[in-house]
């Protein structure tokens, strides 16, 4: 009698829960497939390893704060260990794009993470990441495109070195791409800064304005 009850319980359990498991699993797979810029996260890749990645992708709003009006496809994401990628991306897109390379350092925190650069030297594109995850500086490489055979695609091959790589459209135009990316995972970079202070910058300006002894001698000879 007990065996019959156990068998009925098992049958009922399978009948009720198995379809639920299948439905949940299917929804999860659909969510991953439809998520914008769904890319492989390489946090599990060991330093010294090599990434070989190919894919088709469509763009979505740039996830960087203040860049939501742009369109991008993330190829290699920032890693928790701040490792640097070094490699090459070869791609074809339906719109002109830049290769966006991010540079990030987590060995410093707070306002001193990115040093203050005197205004006389110009401004770099530096962005605060959400959640207090530091800051990134941006390099946008504009490739020299080889126009496609149909005249509606754009192809290029670009080397890169940085903490993350994306294809990026500043005009906010949606685009599709096919690409191959290869990269070595080099590990974290050593931070090396050489930034002039305001006082040093003023001194350099004065030195540039003052003629050297050689220039003064040449001027005197010309006057004679």
Whether 206 maps to a domain, the answer reads no
In the block, which residue shows the tokens 């996830």?
A: 63
The end-to-end CA distance of the chain, in Å, is 126
Q: Could you give the number of structural domains in the chain?
A: 1
Whether 163 maps to a domain, the answer reads yes
Whether 34 maps to a domain, the answer reads no
Whether 205 maps to a domain, the answer reads no
Whether 18 maps to a domain, the answer reads no
Which residues partner with 82 through β-bridges?
none
Measure the CA–CA gap between 114 and 104, rounded to whole angstroms: 10
Which residues partner with 100 through β-bridges?
140, 166
Whether 139 maps to a domain, the answer reads yes
Q: What is the pTM of this model?
A: 0.66
Task: List per-residue pLDDT tens for the chain, 224 residues long.
Answer: 555 654 655 555 555 444 443 333 433 333 333 343 433 333 445 567 999 999 999 999 999 988 999 999 999 999 988 999 999 999 999 999 999 999 987 665 555 556 678 888 888 888 888 887 888 999 999 998 866 545 689 999 999 999 999 999 999 999 999 999 999 999 998 888 888 876 655 555 555 555 666 666 666 666 65
């Amino acid at each position: 009698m007990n065996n019959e009850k156990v068998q009925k319980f098992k049958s009922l359990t399978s009948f009720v829960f198995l379809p639920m498991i299948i439905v949940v699993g299917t929804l999860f797979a659909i969510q991953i497939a439809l998520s914008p810029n769904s890319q492989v996260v390489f946090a599990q890749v060991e330093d010294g390893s090599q990434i070989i990645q190919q894919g088709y992708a469509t763009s979505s709003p740039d996830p960087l704060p203040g860049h939501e009006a742009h369109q991008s496809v993330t190829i290699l994401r920032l890693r928790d260990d701040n490792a640097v990628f070094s490699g090459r991306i070869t791609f074809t897109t339906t719109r002109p794009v830049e290769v966006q390379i991010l540079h990030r350092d987590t060995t410093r925190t707070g306002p001193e993470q990115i040093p203050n650069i005197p205004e006389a030297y110009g401004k770099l594109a530096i962005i605060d990441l959400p959640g207090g995850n530091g800051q990134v500086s941006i390099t946008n490489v504009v490739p020299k495109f080889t126009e496609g055979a149909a005249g509606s695609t754009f192809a290029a091959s670009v080397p890169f070195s940085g903490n993350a790589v994306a294809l990026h459209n500043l005009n906010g135009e949606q685009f599709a791409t096919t690409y191959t990316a290869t990269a070595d995972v080099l590990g974290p970079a050593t931070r090396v800064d050489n930034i002039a202070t305001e006082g040093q910058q003023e001194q350099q300006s004065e030195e540039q304005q003052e003629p050297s002894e050689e220039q003064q001698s040449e001027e005197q000879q010309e006057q004679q």
